[in-house]
């Protein structure tokens, strides 16, 4: 009886939590998930006053800077070369289908117009322009879906309950969760009502209180509000856990689904849409010293491998403080775009193929067509675990040149005549529908 009473009290205390446990996405939301899956490639943008210091988006925390002195950077933030049309055009030409930008990062500075804090790009800087409004208008114009990154934690506001981070910046704390949650909720409402359709809200920072099992982020309430205002808006949370009720996307940081990389690893893979985010160099925000940019070939391989495990690829760009993309980033966007002009059919609107990833590469699939992406094959032949009767025809994706194959009992053996070469040697395999 005692356990029953405690259970009933918990339900009464957290009615929205119980509601979210039974979360059923709306028809609009389910359709948005389908669109999101079909997109396969997006661009992440980390941009804020931290860009001025050229040492990444965590510079306030990593360098132990004083919160009040850091906030004065806003008085000199004026990205004079920012051009929304150019940003979105570069992203579109790269073959990306959506853009996700940091509207408020952990430093607490909002790069959009908000009436709930003067610490924003319109009121606190000489720039005095709402770049999110300009980006939103341009995204809608050019057909690019707009997503917002929003930090759950805040190193600036004194009402944010102190977590694992933000302990070295000199804040005089006056913790008030109710005040902070109301502020956060109000800002999210602004983002959902002032900028047109929003494809997704991408939350980050849950991990700041991961050691406090009793801390309540009130995520069910927040998620219910978002889905109520824009049912089509998807919700992701970068908490490195399996998705919570109310979340529509499972996101992976610095790794693909199924990989295990310490802190960044999620304990499993859900049946929700998947997304893998990665940096071009070693930094999310602009770094003046980090010139260790990944090659275009490596980034294209990452995109292919992500699609091969049924995941989107969210590739980050950290614009310079003047509002321009780094030259190295622009070159890689051009290279990826040129590749997708040719091979996009094998990536967009596909799912991970029924043949799992191997050392030689991955497969993607659309209907009865299997695309075999050979990234590293050391032989002139390739064995596939497919019953021979399922194969209708096999040909090279480029030129539609037939590929010789035989059907031993164990599967299908492709014979190329010579070792496959190139960044991605794609073979199209058409399956017999009724086999």
pLDDT by residue, tens only, the chain of 435 residues: 333 333 333 333 333 343 345 789 999 999 999 999 999 999 999 999 999 999 999 999 999 999 999 999 999 999 999 999 999 999 999 999 999 999 999 999 999 999 999 999 999 999 999 999 999 999 999 999 999 999 999 999 999 999 999 999 999 999 999 999 999 999 999 999 999 999 999 999 999 999 998 999 999 999 999 999 999 999 999 999 999 999 999 999 999 998 876 566 777 999 999 999 999 999 999 999 999 999 999 999 999 999 999 999 999 999 999 999 999 999 999 999 999 999 999 999 999 999 999 999 999 999 999 999 999 999 999 999 998 788 999 999 999 999 999 988 788 999 999 999 999 999 999 998 775
Angle between helices 327-343 and 84-93 (to 10 degrees): 40
**CATH 2.60.40.1180 residue ranges in the chain?**
353-431
- CA 86 vs. chain centroid, Å, equals 21
Contact call for residues 227 and 29 (beta carbons, < 8 A): yes
Contact call for residues 283 and 56 (beta carbons, < 8 A): yes
Q: Which tokens in the block code for residue 168? A: 């070295």
Cβ burial of 330 (10 Å; 0-12, 13-18, 19+) is: middle
Q: Which tokens in the block code for residue 209? A: 């209180």
Distances (CA, A) of 386 to 228, 347, 394, 430: 46, 21, 13, 12
Work out whether the CA dihedral 370, 336, 112, 61 comes out positive or negative.
Answer: positive
pTM: 0.94
Note the pLDDT of residue 7. 34
CATH topology of domain 353-431: Immunoglobulin-like (2.60.40)
DSSP conformation class of 64? T
Report the distance separating Cα 430 and Cα 79, nearest Å.
51
Sheet holding 412-415, edge to edge: 381-384, 412-415, 404-406
- Which residues on neighbouring strands pair with residue 427, listed in sequence order? 372, 396
**CATH 3.20.20.80 residue ranges in the chain?**
2-351
3-state secondary structure of 146: strand
Cβ burial of 262 (10 Å; 0-12, 13-18, 19+) is: exposed
How many residues are recorded in the chain?
Answer: 435
Which residues have CB under 8 Å from 305's CB, separation 6+?
A: 256, 357, 362, 375
Note the pLDDT of residue 14. 35
Q: What are phi and psi of 394, to 5 degrees?
A: -135, 130
Report the distance separating Cα 285 and Cα 333, nearest Å.
17
CB count within 10 Å of CB 293 equals 18
Note the pLDDT of residue 215. 97
Q: Which residues of 73-101 are buried (b: 16+ CB within 10 A; e: fewer)?
A: bbeebbbeebbbeebbebbbbbbbbbbbb
Report the distance separating Cα 403 and Cα 417, nearest Å.
9
Which residue is it, tokens 């030409």?
93
Q: Which tokens in the block code for residue 186? A: 């109000």
Contact call for residues 146 and 139 (beta carbons, < 8 A): yes
CATH architecture for segment(s) 2-351: Alpha-Beta Barrel (3.20)
Note the pLDDT of residue 3. 37
Question: Which residue pairs, CB below 8 angstroms and at least 24 apart, start in 261-270?
Answer: 264/240, 265/240, 266/240, 266/241, 266/242, 267/241, 267/242, 268/242, 270/242, 270/243
């Amino acid at each position: 009886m005692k356990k029953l009473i405690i259970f009933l009290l918990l339900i009464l205390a957290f009615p929205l939590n119980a509601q979210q446990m039974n979360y059923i996405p709306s028809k609009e939301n389910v359709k948005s998930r389908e669109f999101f899956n079909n997109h396969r490639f997006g661009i992440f943008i980390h941009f804020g006053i931290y860009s001025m210091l050229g040492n990444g988006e965590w510079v306030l925390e990593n360098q132990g800077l004083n919160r009040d002195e850091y906030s004065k950077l806003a008085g000199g933030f004026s990205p004079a070369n920012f051009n929304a049309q150019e940003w979105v055009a570069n992203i579109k030409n790269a073959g990306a289908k959506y853009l996700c930008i940091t509207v408020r990062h952990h430093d607490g500075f909002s790069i959009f117009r908000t009436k709930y804090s003067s610490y924003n790009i319109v009121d606190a800087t000489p720039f005095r322009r709402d770049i999110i409004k300009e980006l939103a208008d341009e995204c809608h114009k050019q057909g690019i879906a707009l997503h917002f990154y929003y930090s759950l934690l805040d190193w600036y506001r004194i009402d944010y309950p102190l977590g694992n981070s933000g302990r070295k910046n000199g804040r005089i704390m006056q913790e008030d969760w109710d005040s902070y949650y109301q502020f956060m909720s109000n800002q999210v409402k602004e983002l959902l009502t002032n900028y047109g359709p929003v494809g997704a809200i991408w939350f980050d920072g849950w991990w700041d209180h991961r050691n406090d099992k009793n801390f309540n982020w009130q995520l069910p309430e927040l998620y219910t509000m978002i889905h109520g205002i824009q049912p089509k808006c998807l919700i992701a949370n970068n908490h490195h856990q399996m998705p919570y009720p109310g979340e529509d996307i499972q996101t992976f940081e610095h790794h693909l689904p199924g990989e295990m990389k310490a802190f960044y690893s999620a304990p499993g893979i859900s049946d929700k849409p998947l997304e893998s985010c990665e940096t071009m160099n070693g930094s999310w925000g602009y770094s003046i010293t980090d010139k260790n940019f990944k090659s275009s070939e490596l980034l294209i391989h990452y995109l292919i491998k992500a699609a091969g495990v049924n995941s989107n690829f969210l590739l980050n760009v950290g614009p310079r403080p003047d509002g321009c993309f780094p030259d190295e980033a622009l070159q890689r966007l051009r290279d990826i775009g040129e590749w997708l002009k040719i091979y996009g059919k094998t990536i967009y609107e596909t799912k991970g193929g029924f043949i799992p990833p191997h050392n030689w590469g991955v497969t993607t699939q659309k209907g009865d067509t299997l695309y075999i992406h050979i990234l590293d094959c050391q032989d002139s032949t390739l064995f596939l675990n497919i019953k021979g009767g399922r194969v209708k025809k096999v040909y090279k994706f480029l030129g539609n040149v037939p590929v010789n194959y035989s059907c031993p009992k164990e599967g299908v053996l492709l014979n190329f005549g010579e070792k496959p070469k190139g960044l991605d040697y794609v073979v199209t395999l058409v399956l017999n529908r009724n086999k």
